[in-house]
């Protein structure tokens, strides 16, 4: 099984299936193709029908789109716990994962994931503030309902979808909500997070478009 990813410092969509596979102990070959200066790379077309990362290759099968990859992994490794075991919790986890995949565009475009960045606030729009407020509510609700330390107690695909958001809220100093502090601490202590972050810090590529 091969996972194609972009730069670890910036590629938030790549980070999602990568951290899920690491957290669940799925062995895979990682192929990193760095972005060019504009943030894409024509070489992505060689393995991805959309020209975007991440892309998972499993034998003859190619799966693109981060959430589709996470769903495929859950089917391929049914005992690994990619989604919560309880049906209601699983439906809730899928709802928040889809909310992340399809939403929070103001936050995503104004505050790119950047593992290397110093903590430094920037002026943000009402749209970003609204996205942050919704994330605070969503995380607080999950931690209260399921008891933490991850959104649905154990690490799941929902956490994989929100992992890059932990970096964004920290690096742009966007929230001091207690749920954000508690969840960020759990996420940033996970060995898979640490492995990705350390590799990101060792990269030297700079994508100017992602340096907000
Ligand atoms: N909806 C896609 C988004 C993938 C995406 O936008 N990936 C970025 C890197 S984080 C990319 O490949 N950008 C290159 C480009 O747009 O040319 C997913 O969930 O996988």
Q: Could you give the CA distance from residue 200 to residue 194 in angstroms, rounded to a whole number?
A: 10
Examine the domain organization and report whether 30 and 122 are in the same domain: no
> pLDDT by residue for the chain (212 residues), tens digit each?
999 999 999 999 999 999 999 999 999 999 999 998 777 899 999 999 999 999 999 999 999 999 999 999 999 999 999 999 999 999 999 999 999 999 999 999 999 999 999 999 999 999 999 999 999 999 999 999 999 999 999 999 999 999 999 999 999 999 999 999 999 999 999 999 999 999 999 999 999 889 98
Ligand 1 mutation target, pool 3, 11, 13, most atoms within 8 A of CB: 13
Are the beta carbons of 57 and 17 closer than 8 angstroms? no
Examine the domain organization and report whether 103 and 19 are in the same domain: no
Examine the domain organization and report whether 67 and 113 are in the same domain: no
Residue 66's pLDDT is: 98
The residue among 35, 16, 5, 19 whose CA lies nearest residue 195 is: 19
Q: What is the pTM of this model?
A: 0.98
Examine the domain organization and report whether 76 and 91 are in the same domain: no
Residue 8: CB within 6 Å of ligand 1? no
Q: Could you give the CA distance from residue 15 to residue 12 in angstroms, rounded to a whole number?
A: 5
Examine the domain organization and report whether 121 and 76 are in the same domain: no
Closest ligand 1 atom to Cα of 35: 14
> Per the omega criterion (within 30 degrees of 0), is the bond before 54 cis?
yes
Number of domains in the chain: 2
Domain that holds residue 151: 87-195
Examine the domain organization and report whether 35 and 124 are in the same domain: no
Examine the domain organization and report whether 61 and 111 are in the same domain: no
């Amino acid at each position: 099984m091969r996972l194609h990813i972009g730069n670890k410092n910036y590629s938030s969509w790549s980070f999602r299936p990568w951290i899920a596979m690491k957290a669940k102990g799925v062995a895979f070959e990682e192929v990193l193709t760095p972005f060019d200066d504009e943030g894409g790379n024509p070489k992505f077309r060689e393995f991805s029908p959309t020209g975007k990362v991440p892309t998972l290759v499993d034998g003859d099968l190619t799966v693109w789109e981060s959430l589709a990859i996470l769903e495929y992994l859950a089917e391929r490794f049914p005992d690994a716990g990619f989604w919560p075991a309880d049906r209601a919790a699983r439906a809730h986890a899928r709802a928040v994962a889809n909310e992340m995949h399809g939403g929070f565009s103001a936050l995503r475009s104004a505050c790119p994931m950047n593992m290397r960045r110093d903590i430094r606030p920037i002026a943000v729009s009402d749209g970003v503030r609204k996205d942050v407020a919704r994330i605070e509510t969503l995380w607080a609700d999950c931690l209260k309902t399921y008891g933490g330390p991850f959104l649905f107690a154990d690490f799941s695909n929902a956490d994989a979808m929100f992992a890059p958001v932990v970096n964004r809220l920290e690096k742009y100093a966007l929230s001091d909500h207690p749920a954000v502090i508690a969840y960020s601490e759990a996420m940033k202590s996970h060995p898979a997070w640490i492995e990705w972050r350390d590799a990101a810090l060792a990269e030297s590529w700079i994508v100017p478009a992602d340096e907000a």
